[in-house]
């Protein structure tokens, strides 16, 4: 079965976030802010949209799918905690690079699990029409969150 456009979109965004994080970890102190801003505008809206329109639908499936979704939500919670620390600490703080590295590792782990387990759950649990609807709501939420991130 061909992968639904929702999953292709999520995968593309995962790749973008991983690239931003790699650049953030390697960035000189003077370049950190631009990558931090990119992270704020891409990662947080993506997580918020997943939590509002993908994870709740998976939780309703029950059983193992629900457990996997709950784990994904907890991984988001951990990532948001490290994000907040990273956003608050300042780019010249001696702990900045360590925090960025930890965030990158958390996100890489989460993406690997999401793409190897949750993507299959999504494809197995929903019809094409349901996925189209989920994708539409996801995109709307993400755009709303991106506007908030840029205003912050």
pTM above 0.75, yes or no: yes
Tell me the domain boundaries of the chain.
5-23+31-146
Cα distance between residue 44 and residue 64, in whole Å: 26
- Would you give per-residue pLDDT tens digits along the chain (152 residues)? 568 999 999 999 999 999 999 999 999 999 999 999 999 999 999 999 999 999 999 999 999 999 999 999 999 999 999 999 999 999 999 999 999 999 999 999 999 999 999 999 999 999 999 999 999 999 999 999 999 887 77
- Taking alpha carbons only, the member of 135, 151, 136 closest to residue 8 is 135
- DSSP symbols for 55-116: HHHHHTT-HHHHHHHHHHHHHHHHHHHHHHHHHHH-TTSTTHHHHHHHHHHHHHHHHHHIII
């Amino acid at each position: 079965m061909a992968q639904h456009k929702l999953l292709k979109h999520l995968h593309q965004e995962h790749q973008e976030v991983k690239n931003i994080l790699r650049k953030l970890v390697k960035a000189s102190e003077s370049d950190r802010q631009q990558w931090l801003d990119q992270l704020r505008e891409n990662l947080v809206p993506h997580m918020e949209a997943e939590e509002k329109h993908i994870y709740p639908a998976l939780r309703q499936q029950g059983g193992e799918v629900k457990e996997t979704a709950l784990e994904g939500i907890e991984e988001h919670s951990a990532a948001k905690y490290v994000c907040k620390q990273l956003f608050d600490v300042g780019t010249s703080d001696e702990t900045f690079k360590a925090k960025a590295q930890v965030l990158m590792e958390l996100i890489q782990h989460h993406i690997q699990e999401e793409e190897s387990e949750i993507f299959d759950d999504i494809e197995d649990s929903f019809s094409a029409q349901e996925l189209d609807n989920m994708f539409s709501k996801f995109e709307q939420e993400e755009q709303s969150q991106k506007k908030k991130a840029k205003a912050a």
